[in-house]
Amino acid sequence: ILLKTTEPTCLLFSVCRPCLTLSSPLSCGDHGQEWRGGQKTSPLRISSPQVPAIFFSGFWQSTLVLNCPSVNIVCVCVCDILTVLLYACAFLFLAASYTDSSDDETSPRDKQQKNSKGNGDFCIKNIKQADFGRREIEIAEQEMPALMALRKRAQGEKPLAGAKVVGCTHITAQTAVLMETLSALGAQCRWAACNIYSTQNEVAAALAEGGFSVFAWKGESEDDFWWCIDRCVNVEGWQPNMILDDGGDLTHWIYKKYPNMFKKIKGIVEESVTGVHRLYQLSKAGKLCVPAMNVNDSVTKQKFDNLYCCRESILDGLKRTTDVMFGGKQVVVCGYGEVGKGCCAALKAMGSIVYVTEIDPICALQACMDGFRLVKLNEVIRQVDIVITCTGNKNVVVREYLDRMKNGCIVCNMGHSNTEIDVASLRTPELTWERVRSQVDHVIWPDGKRIVLLAEGRLLNLSCSTVPTFVLSITATTQALALIELYNAPEGRYKQDVYLLPKKMDEYVASLHLPTFDAHLTELSDEQAKYLGLNKNGPFKPNYYR
Tell me the per-residue pLDDT of 439-489, one tens digit each, with 9 for 90 and over: 999 999 999 999 999 999 999 988 898 889 998 999 999 999 999 999 999
Give the model's confidence band at 85: pLDDT under 50 very low, under 70 low, under 90 confident, else very high. Answer: low
| pLDDT above 90 coverage of the chain, percent | 70
Report the distance separating Cα 394 and Cα 251, nearest Å. Answer: 20
Cα angle 494, 499, 500; round to 5? 130
* Residue 389 buriedness (CB in 10 A; 0-12 / 13-18 / 19+): buried
Give every CB contact of residue 62 below 8 A, 6+ residues apart in sequence: 35, 36, 37, 38, 39, 40
Secondary element (H or E) of residue 35: strand 33-37
- Does residue 248 or residue 544 have the better pLDDT? 248
Q: What is the mean pLDDT of residues 198-209?
A: 96
Give the model's confidence band at 403: pLDDT under 50 very low, under 70 low, under 90 confident, else very high. Answer: very high
SS3 assignment for 134-196: HHHHHHHHHCCHHHHHHHHHHCCCCCCCCCEEEEEECCCHHHHHHHHHHHHCCCEEEEEECCC
Pair 250, 257: CB distance under 8 Å: no
- Does residue 281 or residue 89 have the better pLDDT? 281
Report the distance separating Cα 232 and Cα 242, nearest Å. Answer: 13
Q: Is 29 annotated as a binding residue?
A: no
pLDDT at position 545: 80
Q: Is the pLDDT of residue 28 over 60?
A: no
Give the model's confidence band at 305: pLDDT under 50 very low, under 70 low, under 90 confident, else very high. Answer: confident
Q: Is the pLDDT of residue 9 over 80?
A: no
Q: Is 223 annotated as a binding residue?
A: no
C-alpha 513, offset from chain centre:
22
Pair 127, 209: CB distance under 8 Å: yes
Return the closest-CA partner of residue 473 out of 294, 300, 316, 337: 300
Task: Output the pTM of the full model.
Answer: 0.75
Report the distance separating Cα 431 and Cα 225, nearest Å. Answer: 27
pLDDT at position 12: 43
Give the model's confidence band at 542: pLDDT under 50 very low, under 70 low, under 90 confident, else very high. Answer: confident
Tell me the per-residue pLDDT of 405-430, one tens digit each, with 9 for 90 and over: 999 999 999 988 889 999 999 999 99
Lowest pLDDT segment from 19-33, 163-177, 345-359, 512-526:
19-33
Q: What is the mean pLDDT of residues 9-29?
A: 39
Backbone angles phi, psi at 48, to 5 degrees: -155, 170
Q: Is 219 annotated as a binding residue?
A: no
pLDDT at position 104: 59
Pair 41, 2: CB distance under 8 Å: yes
Q: What is the mean pLDDT of residues 128-143?
A: 96
Going along 304-364, which residue ranges are E strands?
330-334, 353-357
Q: Is the pLDDT of residue 82 over 60?
A: no
Q: What is the mean pLDDT of residues 320-334?
A: 96
Tell me the per-residue pLDDT of 164-189, one tens digit each, with 9 for 90 and over: 999 999 999 999 999 999 999 999 99
Give the model's confidence band at 304: pLDDT under 50 very low, under 70 low, under 90 confident, else very high. Answer: confident
Helices (H), ranges, 374-525: 377-380, 399-404, 460-464, 469-488, 503-513
Give the model's confidence band at 71: pLDDT under 50 very low, under 70 low, under 90 confident, else very high. Answer: very low
Tell me the per-residue pLDDT of 140-152, one tens digit each, with 9 for 90 and over: 999 999 999 999 8
Pair 129, 203: CB distance under 8 Å: no
Q: Is the pLDDT of residue 239 over 60?
A: yes
Report the distance separating Cα 272 and Cα 281, nearest Å. Answer: 14
Q: Is the pLDDT of residue 64 over 90?
A: no
Q: Is 273 annotated as a binding residue?
A: no
- Could you tell me which residues are beta bridge partners of residue 168? 192, 245
Q: Is the pLDDT of residue 60 over 70?
A: no
Give the model's confidence band at 392: pLDDT under 50 very low, under 70 low, under 90 confident, else very high. Answer: confident
Pairing of strands 353-357, 373-374: parallel
Q: Is 106 annotated as a binding residue?
A: no
Q: Is 329 annotated as a binding residue?
A: no
Q: Is the pLDDT of residue 61 over 60?
A: no
- Does residue 118 or residue 40 have the better pLDDT? 118
Q: What is the mean pLDDT of residues 521-545?
A: 91
Report the distance separating Cα 192 and Cα 214, nearest Å. Answer: 6
Return the closest-CA partner of residue 290 out of 7, 83, 486, 38: 486
Report the distance separating Cα 32 and Cα 108, nearest Å. Answer: 29
pLDDT at position 70: 40
Backbone angles phi, psi at 130, to 5 degrees: -60, -40
- Does residue 32 or residue 296 have the better pLDDT? 296
Pairing of strands 164-169, 188-193: parallel
pLDDT at position 83: 52
C-alpha 347, offset from chain centre:
21
Share the mean pLDDT of the chain. Answer: 84
Report the distance separating Cα 383 and Cα 16, nearest Å. Answer: 44
Q: Is the pLDDT of residue 30 over 60?
A: no
Q: Is 305 annotated as a binding residue?
A: yes
Helix then strand count (H, E) for the chain reads 18, 22
pLDDT at position 417: 80
pLDDT at position 300: 86
Return the closest-CA partner of residue 340 out of 446, 254, 414: 414
Q: Is 360 annotated as a binding residue?
A: no
Q: Is 40 annotated as a binding residue?
A: no
Tell me the per-residue pLDDT of 247-281, one tens digit each, with 9 for 90 and over: 999 999 999 999 999 999 999 999 998 899 999 99
Distances (CA, A) of 511 to 128, 301, 508, 516: 39, 14, 5, 10
Q: Is 38 annotated as a binding residue?
A: no
Q: Is 342 annotated as a binding residue?
A: yes
